[in-house]
Amino acid sequence: MSGKRILLIDNEEGLCRMMEAVLSDSNYQVKSYTRSFEAVEEFQSGDYDLVISDIKMPGMDGLEVLQRIRRKDQIVPVIMITAYATVETSIQALRKGAYDMLTKPFEPEELLYRVKNALNHNQLAEENRELKKELAGQFSFKNIIGSSSSLKSILETVTKVAVRDTSVLITGESGTGKELIAQAIHHNSPRSKQRFMAINCGALPESVLESELFGYKKGAFTGANADRKGILESANGGTLFLDEIGNLPLTVQKTLLRFLQEQEFMRIGDTKPIKVDVRIISATNADLTQEMTDGHYREDLYYRLNVVNIHLPPLRERADDLGLLTVHFIRQQNKKFGTSVEGLTPEAMQLLCSYDWPGNIRQMENVIEACMTMESADHIGLPVLSQFITATSTIASTPTQAVSPSSEDYAKALSDFETRYLIDLLRSTGGNVEEAAGLAGMNMATISSPTTTPE
């Protein structure tokens, strides 16, 4: 906890100096005041990690200090010191937002113990807040990387279907981000506070898949020693993502169809139907219309799943997004491993843009990670990148300077891409800043900032 900043307020100058010395000896950064008015006036949110204040002080007492600090900062913990620790005073202080009460007289060890507890609590609370923000932001539309017209069209569709409780079928090649889109739909839907569960229908044999989906009763088969919920029942109230739905066996297709029609199913070996409220989002890289023609897929199930279809284009058709994705994956790996790779050399970027990316976004992420593992320079060079990919592309060539960080760092490259994206938005809306800001999910001040105006 060394280096943490503590604001100390106590009108008793001797006690104030004693506490300041004890805390400073433990490597805390302490600023002390004997006048409460002055301390509150100078206090700003984020300046301190902890506030310690006496309750009984002339002029502005500690409870008023607490109230005024809370108006400026809802998070910083506050420890109140009192020589008169009545139940009523303690309740008042806690109701007004105090973290702890310290009764005079106290030993230095007790002061340090209370301070450490308060700072630990605050750190855990901050980590929890950051985690919640990260989880919420992880699936927000602004974190789906790209500015190509095809991606913008997809996100417009996702925005509309997220709020409608209907079945969605996401199609596209392997690695195009189908599960990410499914998660974005869920996390922007009225079901967002409930569970998002996923199952790969192509990864399990038929018998296991059926029991995983629908669960089973004790004694239904050898090894069924107890009742078990299936993933469908566990997702009640939320969203179930069925990946590789094209690999669903015909027997399981029939059971799933009944659920979609009746919103109920039976566990294996049971005779009592179970009713659940689950939204189904499915995905496939197969041609289900051909599967129906060949008799491998039920037509009635297909139309139940495919109420709304979202097709994700392969990466080779998203040339405009290659630069942004490169910047994003480099930044991601730098954060993960504490590295400082700045980008790709122009020659490496040219190779990256001339490659077909048959494994799509997933392959690109893996290639960038592999390159950053092998590269010792601050830019990924052609010799390293060519170990993992070779030029095979039918992608329309994008000018190197438009997508390559060149000698600049990747943060500058990202800024350039964002500027180009905002300019394109302004062009498409005829210069209407408010409309463009709405499309980009930004405020008007942000979108008004590009230094180049649309022609």
Task: Assess whether 155 and 303 both reside in one domain.
Answer: yes
State yes or no: pLDDT of 308 exceeds 90. Answer: yes
For 178, the domain range is 142-313
Q: What is the pLDDT of residues 140-151, one digit of tens each?
A: 566 688 888 888
Question: Is 372 a member of any domain?
Answer: yes
CATH number of the domain encompassing residue 37: 3.40.50.2300
60 three-state secondary structure: coil
Both structure tokens of 137: 């932001």
Q: What is the pLDDT of residue 411?
A: 52
314-358 residue pLDDT tens? 999 998 888 889 988 999 899 888 898 999 998 998 899 899 999
Q: What is the pLDDT of residue 179?
A: 92
56 within 8 A of 84, measured Cβ to Cβ: yes
**225 and 335 share a domain?**
no
Residue 230 pLDDT exceeds 50: yes
112 and 219: one domain?
no
Which of the two residues, 323 and 239, has the higher pLDDT score? 239
Residues 333 and 438 in one domain: yes
DSSP code string of 217-258 = -TTSSTT--S-B--HHHHTTTSEEEEETGGG--HHHHHHHHH
188 located within any domain? yes
pLDDT of res. 85: 64
Phi, psi of 137 (to 5 degrees): -75, -20
Q: Which long-range contacts (CB under 8 A, 24 or more apart) does 149-152 make?
A: 149/320, 150/313, 150/317, 150/318, 151/318, 151/321, 152/439
Last residue of a domain, one of 75, 105, 135: 135
Last residue of a domain, one of 294, 313, 332: 313
CATH classification at residue 393: 1.10.8.60
Residue 453 lies inside a defined structural domain of this protein: no
330 and 349 co-located in one domain? yes
**pLDDT value for 437:** 56
AA letter at 407: S
In the prediction, which pLDDT does 406 show?
Answer: 42
Three-class secondary structure of residue 390 per DSSP: coil
Q: How many CB atoms lie within 10 A of CB 93?
A: 23
In this structure, the answer to whether residues 371 and 286 fall within a common structural domain is no
In a domain, 21, yes or no: yes
Cβ–Cβ < 8 Å for 340, 173: no
Same structural domain, 309 and 320? no
Across all residues in the chain, what is the average pLDDT? 84
Q: Provide the domain count of the chain.
A: 3
401 and 329 in a common domain: yes
Whether 83 is in a domain gets the answer yes
Res 46 pLDDT > 80: yes
Q: Are residues 292 and 146 in the same domain?
A: yes
Residue with tokens 């990466």: 315
Find the CATH number of the domain harbouring 172. 3.40.50.300
pLDDT at 25 over 90: yes
Determine the longest span between alpha carbons in the chain, in angstroms: 89
**For range 158-165, the mean pLDDT:** 91
The residues facing 51 across adjacent strands are 7, 78
96 with 152, same domain: the answer is no
Same domain membership, residue 256 and residue 361: no
429 Cβ neighbours under 8 A, 6+ residues apart:
435, 436, 439
Strands of 379-452 (E only): list them.
Answer: 379-380
Are 154 and 279 found together in one domain? yes
Q: Residue 416 and residue 323: Cα distance in Å, rounded?
A: 10
In a domain, 452, yes or no: no
pLDDT in tens, 71-101: 998 889 999 998 876 777 777 888 888 888 8
Question: Does residue 455 belong to any structural domain of this protein?
Answer: no
Q: At 282, is the secondary structure helix, strand, or coil? A: strand
User: Which candidate, 74, 75, 70, 32, places its Cα nearest to that of 53?
Assistant: 32
CB 179 within 8 A of CB 138: no
* Pairwise pLDDT comparison (427 vs 180), residue with the higher score: 180
Q: Is position 281 within any domain?
A: yes
Residues β-bridged to residue 78:
51
| Domain boundary, last residue among 105, 135, 165 | 135
Strand order in the sheet with 5-9: 29-33, 5-9, 50-54, 78-82, 100-103
